[in-house]
Amino acid sequence: QQPVQSPQAVILREGEDAVINCSSSKALYSVHWYRQKHGEAPVFLMILLKGGEQKGHDKISASFNEKKQQSSLYLTASQLSYSGTYFCGTEKRGGATNKLIFGTGTLLAVQP
């Protein structure tokens, strides 16, 4: 079942923060986050496996709630390079297979 992402699109000024959410109706095994720039392939950002987990690098971080049904991606002090479409990919319980079902994506545009 496809995860639900919100918002569908967001426009930011450089330096502003954004949060992208990914929700599932059932508990998950894992959630991945990817960024795709126009005309390019999706690029891996991070993977979360444990309920309550939080991880991040630079100014991009993510969380996975205790019930493992919701994940959020946090982008702080956004830069122009953050522009793109962000996808969460979820694996249902019973993994590990890396069989990911991707959400519909969130288009992020960072303006000067």
**Positions that interact with other proteins (CB under 8 A):** 2, 30, 32, 34, 40-44, 47, 49, 87, 89, 95-105
Select from 67, 75, 59, 60 the least CA-distant residue to 23.
67
CB of 112 to other proteins, least distance (A): 27
CB of 75 to other proteins, least distance (A): 19
| β-bridge mates for residue 9, sequence order | 107
Q: Which is nearer to other proteins, 101 or 109 (CB)?
A: 101
CB of 3 to other proteins, least distance (A): 11
Token look-up 């005309």 returns: 39
